[in-house]
Chains A and B, each alone.
Chain A
Amino acid sequence: GESVGLHLPTLSVQEGDNSIINCAYSNSASDYFIWYKQESGKGPQFIIDIRSNMDKRQGQRVTVLLNKTVKHLSLQIAATQPGDSAVYFCAEVEIYSNYQLIWGAGTKLIIKP
């Protein structure tokens, strides 16, 4: 079936630097995408989403970019903090399949002091 995957399984970033987490997707018909953050021992937590008619969306310290031409999604975290350490998942929302999420495998973000 369709899949959403991530380029890097682990990303190490110096505290205070910006982090960029990438995601590739294959279903060009998808309507929108979500980034989730999962801390150790907890359930996924919504970070930000973006609809397919947008190229960029900003939140608090986070920005999501969508490039439909190459089916690529990225999450940028500004001024990375220790509390940002987590696994980040991108997910594709299939609106015509009862809002099922198609999940990537995840990228583990490690913050170096």
Chain B
Amino acid sequence: NAGVTQTPKFRVLKTGQSMTLLCAQDMNHEYMYWYRQDPGMGLRLIHYSVGEGTTAKGEVPDGYNVSRLKKQNFLLGLESAAPSQTSVYFCASSGQRGEQYFGPGTRLTVT
């Protein structure tokens, strides 16, 4: 039981490049979330999903897109990366109780 995994762990992009972050969970959770965390700050919700095939906007959705084609996977895409998107990205999943389990994070630098 791996819990929540994220790939890649690190990535450097140039402004304007695109990339996709992958999140996978093996706990059969319905809910999945993508957050970003800037240095010294708390987590901000980008997008979330309440089940396979559904997505919804969070607090800071601009510049990001997501897809939930399979229940266990939640993808976060950056179509045209900007330096303001330099951050650590965390994925989380939760069951009905609401307790979220987090992945190890992806550190993204946009130059």
Interface on A for B, CB 8 Å cutoff?
A: 32, 34, 41-46, 49, 89, 93, 95, 98-101, 103-106
Within 8 A of A (CB), among B7-60: 31, 33, 41-45, 48, 50, 56, 58
> Which of A34, A98, A104, A105 is in CB contact (< 8 Å) with B48?
A98
What are 26 pairs between A and B in contact, CB < 8 Å? A32-B98, A34-B98, A34-B99, A42-B104, A42-B105, A43-B102, A44-B43, A44-B100, A45-B102, A46-B100, A46-B101, A89-B42, A89-B43, A93-B98, A98-B31, A98-B56, A99-B94, A99-B100, A100-B33, A100-B45, A100-B58, A101-B43, A103-B43, A104-B42, A106-B41, A106-B42
* A43 lies within 8 A of B98 (CB): no
B residues apposed to A, CB below 8 Å: 4, 31, 33, 41-45, 48, 50, 56, 58, 90, 92, 94, 98-105
CB of A95 within 8 A of CB of B42, answer: no
Provide the bound-state CA to CA distance between A22 and B90, in Å.
24
User: Which residues of chain B are near A46, meaning CB under 8 Å?
Assistant: 99-101
Q: Do the beta carbons of A105 and B99 come within 8 Å of each other?
A: no
Complex contact B105–A43 (CB within 8 A)? yes
Closest 9 CB pairs of A and B: A43-B102, A99-B98, A103-B42, A93-B98, A105-B42, A44-B102, A103-B43, A98-B50, A43-B90
